[in-house]
Amino acid sequence: MRKQDGRNITEVMKDEMIMKGKILSSLSAKPKTIPEIAEALEVPSEEIMFWVAALWRYGALEEVGKPDSDGYYSYQPTQ
């Protein structure tokens, strides 16, 4: 597997269940983009992208509105 900021992608994916709660918690007040989630959790955006993609794919998150000027969608927990 290729390295991402010094971490093996397999290592990043192992943290998914831990990060699921943190990501959902960070979105409890308002929807956020991937860079906003990364900043709130102090985790690289590249890692947040993996986790958000998995949470979105399995129905835990949904996109809100249109992308911002940088092309990022905001995400919120599904209802």
Domain ranges of the chain: 3-77
- Residue 6 has what pLDDT? 65
Read off the pLDDT of residues 2-60 as tens digits, 9 standing for 90 and up. Answer: 454 567 777 766 777 789 999 999 999 999 999 999 999 999 998 899 899 989 999 99
Helices within 1-79 (DSSP H only): 9-14, 16-26, 34-41, 45-57
Name which residue leads in pLDDT, 69 or 2: 69
Residues 6+ apart with CB under 8 A from 59: 78
Name which residue leads in pLDDT, 11 or 68: 68
- CATH code of the domain made up of 3-77: 1.10.10.10
pTM score, whole prediction:
0.81
- Residue 40 has what pLDDT? 96
